[in-house]
Structure 1
């Protein structure tokens, strides 16, 4: 069974890329495929509580995070150096990785998708 990493790097509301990445994670997990998520760049905005997207921007993707545990998606990684997250009300289900752990993480998966 292949273990998949989905790397979200796009802004959650400027395109459909982040939503499509989350949708892929949910589909894989529905079919009992092991999947983990990692977030970087503009996708880190998903973690903040104070989101209020317009109708044109789509759904509030932050609300999907609490449902990930029902799909057995338990590993959501970010790099430790994102200090701006400590000043924001954020979702608590993330695992912080140092730079070396972040770099080696990508080689530990059979499939990596980037959105």
Structure 2
């Protein structure tokens, strides 16, 4: 059964589900590097996974569009920061070539 039918709204109104996910993810993405440096990549990753799990539970039990939007926001927020620590760790790991220069902004700003 399509989502629109399940929550009794028009198909056009369900577009907010995609917008909420992308907006929440875009906002949360910029904090990943900072959080990984402050609390450690493992904690940031596990916290993000926990938020995604909570979003999945909320979405799976949601009965209206508002609850589903909340679930998508949680999923967007939860998936954004964990994608940054692996990049930060890769900036700090591995051998260096003689001409290699570390770009600290790339790791500390989550870019």
- TM-score, structure 1 as length reference: 0.29
Greater strand fraction, Structure 1 or Structure 2: 1
- TM-score, structure 2 as length reference: 0.29
**Which of these two proteins has the greater Rg computed from alpha carbons?**
2
